[in-house]
Structure 1
Amino acid sequence: MVVIRLSRGGAKSRPFFNIVVADKRVRRDGRFIERLGFYNPIAKAGEESVRIAQDRLTYWRGVGAQASPTVERLLKQAAAKAPAAAAAA
Structure 2
Amino acid sequence: MAVKIRLARGGAKKKPFYRIVVADSEARRDGRFLEIVGTYDPLKDPAKVTVKQDRVGYWLGEGAIPTDTVRDILKKEGEPASAS
For 1:1-89, what aligned pairs fall within 5 Å after superposition?
1-44=2-45, 49-79=48-78
Greater displacement, 13-22 / 36-45 = 36-45
What is the TM-score normalised by the length of structure 1? 0.83
Q: Segments of 4+ in structure 1 off by > 4 A?
A: none
What does residue 86 of structure 1 align with? none
Question: Rg bigger for which structure?
Answer: 1
Per residue, is there more strand in 1 or in 2? 2
Identity across matched positions, percent? 50
Q: How many residue pairs end up in the alignment? A: 78
Unaligned runs of 5+ in 1: 81-89
Deviation at residue 77 of structure 1 after TM alignment: 1.2
TM-score by length of 2: 0.88
The root-mean-square deviation of aligned C-alpha atoms, in Å, is: 1.5
Q: Which runs of 5+ in 2 are unaligned?
A: 80-84
